[in-house]
Structure 1
Amino acid sequence: GMTLPQLSAETRIPARHLEMIERGDFASLPAKTYATGFARTYAKAVGLDDKAIVEEVRAELAATQGGDRHRTATFEPGDPARIPSRGLALFSLFAIILLIAGGVMFYSRIISPGSGPGSLLDEQRMAAANAAKAKVQPRAGATPAAPATGPVVFTALEDGVWVKFYDGAGAQLMQKQMAKGETYAVPAEAQGPQVWTGRPDALAITVGGKPVAKLAESEGIMKDVPVTAQALLTRGSGQTAGPAAGPSGT
């Protein structure tokens, strides 16, 4: 006879499967198809009746599978006493809900205290503080106002600018044709100083070192124009009078 290794090489059936066939342990083969196929090949190789062997294998497999089905059908369910009661299940669900709620509260108060809605009182206080700050701060882009007092200085922007300064009583303070860049500071002790010129547009004015609006933006005779700090600041706020139509008598 042939040895198992020789028979395995001849039939190309693994030796362990041949051992199962020789023992008649067909149920241990991989599947019913493999069992019948291996048995047929084995029977032919050793000179047995392959049809009879296959029928025997099928009968044994059928008997084995029938026993398995019977065991499955007669399996008894577990003890009902081991199933948790309805009250215990509800208590467990309630405990889980409490645990989740506690975790959410801990996170919102300890880990992320600023993520919740803010206090309405805090918002009102912040709005009041912002309003007060807006009142104190100057408007963006606004030019700081010049002081109401300070030296009044005229600067000629062109050559040959004729100008005459005098006080409220008519006493002359200065009269000349100013050169470009020449300056004149109105005496601080002068009472009611005024100016007379035909080129108000060519005279730059500062009060306390801060520039203010010119007497006019075009040529024209202007006389008896007050040049105190307060008067010039008032003109700069939009109350500037235009040049006179012509000279008045002295």
Structure 2
Amino acid sequence: MSDVTEQTEEELPLERAGDRLRHAREKSGKSVEQIAEETRIPQRHLESIEAGRFADLPSRTYAIGFSRTYARALGLDEHEILDMVRTDIADGGGQEQRAVSTFEPGDPARIPGRGLAWFSAFAALLLVVGVLAFFGDRIFPGAGPGSILPDEEPAAAPAQAETTGGTSAPATAPSGQVVFTALDDNVWVRFTDEGGERLLEKQLMKGETFTVPASARDPRINTGRPDLLAITIGGKPVAKLADQPVTIGDAQVSAQALGARTAEPAAAATGSGTQ
């Protein structure tokens, strides 16, 4: 009789971790779906644990971590359950499991959801972009795109330099041959030099010209129609001696004298414009 009893006990299989968990769940009156909602462990993984199919789980560490959480949810001794799980895996329950990870998951209820993980990654990306946009020129000077505007040309030098007093310096006096041209018929003129020697005295016809000799010293003119005499110095026109028919006597007509007359009105106009 005793031999039969011993033989029967030897033939009875040992209770596995999955069986212990399943019996405790059934005793508590909860379904696998309810345990999955409480622990946030996928239902298929809970069914694999109860069936002892630890090879169906992602890795050995998941089998241990999920079993611990399952035991806590049912009020079982988690250390005892984990010892049973390790024994079941060593006996062949996890022969086909994947490579063991060094990470052992904890309570799945504490693992952040996928949506939160994506939101955190997006927020971190925005932060990096903002930092680079704000501090980019300081961290990487000159790394931005080049300007499409052409380089600024240096400001052109003023045509006339200003003197210390703030007034424009007089323009350089023109030089060259002085030529008078009659703009109408019968324009009487008389040209003399420093000694009073007469250089020309006649009535010029329209278009007729007179060139003041370059050798003449302090040449002068007498005329009653300065408004009908066009003047050029070195081929460049200068202002007439007068714009109205007035009598002019002994007016200097050298290039220097005529150039000074031309510069004086310009200087006066500049001075009045700056006031």
TM-score (norm 1): 0.49
TM-score (norm 2): 0.45
